[in-house]
Amino acid sequence: MKQLEFKEIDGGKPFYMLLGFMGLFILAALGAAWYMEHNGHWVTGMNNQIVWGTPHVFAVFLIVAASGALNVASISSVFNKTAYKPLARLSGLLAITLLVGGLAVLVLDLGRPDRLIVAMTYYNFKSIFAWNIMLYTGFMVIVGIYLWMMMERKMNRFTKVAGFSAFIWRLILTTGTGSIFGFLVARQAYDAAILAPMFIIMSFSFGLAIFILVLMGMYKWADRPLGDSILFRLKNLLGVFIAAVLYFVIAYHLTNLYITENHGVEQFILMDGGVYTSLFWFVQIGLGSLLPLALLYYPSTGKSRGWIGIASLLVIIGGLAQIYVIIIGGQAYPMEMFPGKEVVSSFADGIVGSYSPSLPEIVLGVGGVALALAATFVGVRVLRFMPVSLADEAVDPHYSAKA
| 7 three-state secondary structure | strand
The domain defined by 7-222+233-386 folds into: Formate dehydrogenase/DMSO reductase fold (1.20.1630)
Q: Looking at residue 402, what is its pLDDT?
A: 47
Domain boundaries, the chain: 7-222+233-386
> With the CA atoms of 337, 340, 343 and 349 taken in that order, what torsion angle do they form, in degrees rounded to the nearest 10?
40
DSSP class of residue 335 equals P
Q: Looking at residue 336, what is its pLDDT?
A: 73
DSSP class of residue 124 equals -
Q: How far is CA 5 from the centre of its chain?
A: 30
Q: Which residues fall within 8 angstroms of residue 352, CB to CB, at 6 or more apart?
A: 268, 332, 333, 334
**Mean pLDDT across 140-165:** 92
How many CB atoms sit inside 10 A of residue 359's CB? 13
Cα(266)–Cα(261) distance, rounded to whole angstroms? 10
Rounded to whole angstroms, the maximal C-alpha distance in the chain is: 76
Cα(225)–Cα(216) distance, rounded to whole angstroms? 10
| 143 three-state secondary structure | helix
Tell me the CA distances in angstroms from 226 to 128, 258, 354, 376, 396, one per residue in order.
42, 48, 47, 19, 11
Cα(398)–Cα(32) distance, rounded to whole angstroms? 52
Cα(98)–Cα(91) distance, rounded to whole angstroms? 11
Q: Please count the residues of the chain.
A: 403
Q: For residue 241, how many C-alpha atoms fall within 13 Å in the half-sphere facing its CB?
A: 29
More confident residue, 343 or 324: 324
Q: Looking at residue 382, what is its pLDDT?
A: 93
* Average pLDDT, rounded, for the chain: 89
More confident residue, 368 or 223: 368
Q: What are the tens digits of pLDDT across the range 14-25?
A: 889 999 999 999
64: enclosing H helix or E strand:
helix 54-69
